[in-house]
Amino acid sequence: MKRIILFIVFTFISLTAAFAQRFAYVDSDYILKHMPEYASAQRQLEALSAQWQKEADQRYQEIDRLLKAYQADQVLMTADMKKRREAEIDDKEKSAKDFQRQKFGPGGELEQRSTSGIKPIQDKMTKAIQAVAENDEIDMVFDKNSEVIMLYANPRYDKSADVIIKLGLKPGTFAK
C-alpha cells in the first residue's frame, strides 16, 4: 500500500513539474538579419566568393584556350610536342581543380572564413538568447529554423524581438 501511495505522489510531483516548464522559441534568421555585423560578414564572404569564382573561371578559360590551340595545331605536331602540350593542359586542369577544392570544397578557405567570421556573431546572439531566457524564467528555447520540427508555435512565445532588443538593436526593420 505504501508503494502505491509513493508511486501516486511521485507521479503527481512529476506531472506538476512537467506542466511548470516554460518554453519559448526564437527565429535565428530573423535575429541575424537585424544584426549589422552579420550583414557585413555576409557581404564580405560574398565578395570573396565572387573574387575566387572569377579567378577559377579565368583558369578554366585559359585551359579552354590551350585546348583549342592544341586541337588546331595537333596535325602539325610531333608525338613529343603532343605529349608536352597534353601534359601542360593536364597540369593546368589539375591546378584549377585544386584551386577550386582549396577555396570552395569541404573544409576549404571559404568555409573556414565563414566559420571564423560568423561564429562570434552567433555566439553574441546565443548569449542574448540565454539572457532573455533567464530573465523571463524560460526553461527551454527552441530555434524555429533548426532541425527541430515545430508544427505549431503560439506567437506569444516568440522571443526573437526580445533578443534583438537585448542586442541593442531595433526590431521591425531589417539591416541593409
For 97-109, give the DSSP string.
HHHHHHHHSTT-H
pLDDT digits (tens, 9 = 90+) for 118-145: 999 999 998 998 888 888 888 888 888 8
Report how many domains make up the chain.
1
Range of the domain at 153: 22-166
DSSP state of 159: -
Tell me, yes or no, whether 174 lies in a domain.
no
pLDDT at 88 over 50: yes
pLDDT recorded at residue 91: 96
**In-domain check, residue 3:** no
Q: Flag whether 4 is in a domain.
A: no
Residue 7 covered by a domain: no
Is residue 88, in this structure, part of any structural domain at all?
A: yes
- Grid cell at residue 2: 505504501
Residue 175 lies in a domain: no
Residue of higher predicted confidence among 20 and 9: 20
Q: Which three cell numbers stand for residue 86?
A: 597534353
Is residue 85 one of the residues assigned to a domain? Answer: yes
Q: What is the CATH number of the domain that holds 61?
A: 3.30.910.20
Residue 60 near residue 149 (C-beta atoms within 8 A): no
The answer as to whether 133 is a domain residue is yes
